Amino acid sequence: MNARSEAGAGSRTEPVGQDDAAGRRTDAAGRTDAPKRTDAVGGTHAVVGTDAVGPSEEVGWDEDGAWRTAAWRSGSGARAPRRVAVADDRMAADLAYRLVCEGTALLWRGDYHGARQLLAALGRRVDRKPPKQGATPRESFHLYRQARTRRARVLGMLLVPLETAADGSWAVPLRRAPRVGEACVEAYGPPPGPVGALTLVSLRELQGVLGAHEWRRKGVPIEALGGARIHPRHGVFSPVRGEYVDLVARAPLPRAAGARSGPGPGEEAGPVPEAGADGGGAPRGEDPGRLTAFDVGTGTGVLAAVLARRGVGRVTATDVGEQALACARENVARLDVAQAVEVVRADLFPSREAGRADLIVCNPPWLPAKPTSVLEQAVYDPDSRMLRGFLTGLGERLAPAGEGWLILSDLAEHLGLRPREQLLEWISAAGLRVAGRLDARPEHARATDPAAPLHAARAAETTSLWRLRHVEEAVVS
Using CA of residue 343, residue 347, residue 350, residue 353, what is the dihedral sign? negative
Distance between CA atoms of residues 274 and 253, nearest Å: 8
pLDDT of residue 473: 61
171, 180 contact by CB (below 8 A): yes
Listing DSSP states for 404-422 in one string gives EEEEEESHHHHTTSS-HHH
pLDDT of residue 213: 94
pLDDT of residue 371: 80
Domains of the chain and CATH, by start: 3-215 (no CATH), 219-258+272-473 (3.40.50.150)
* Helix-then-strand count for the chain, H and E: 13, 18
Is the pLDDT at 288 greater than 60? The verdict is yes
317, 324 contact by CB (below 8 A): no
pLDDT of residue 33: 33
- Rounded to the nearest integer, the mean pLDDT of the chain is 82
Q: What is the mean pLDDT of residues 403-431?
A: 95
pLDDT tens-place string over residues 76-129: 778 899 999 999 999 999 999 999 999 999 999 999 999 999 999 999 999 998
DSSP strand pairing (463-470 vs 432-440): antiparallel
pLDDT tens-place string over residues 215-264: 999 999 999 999 999 999 988 988 888 899 999 999 999 987 655 443 33
pLDDT of residue 70: 94
Share of the chain above pLDDT 70, in %: 79
Q: SS3 of 444, please?
A: coil
Distance between CA atoms of residues 4 and 12, nearest Å: 12
Is the pLDDT at 49 greater than 90? The verdict is no
pLDDT of residue 14: 30
Taking the whole predicted model, whether its pTM rises above 0.85 is answered as no
pLDDT of residue 405: 98
pLDDT of residue 165: 94
Contacts of 421 (CB under 8 A, 6+ apart): none
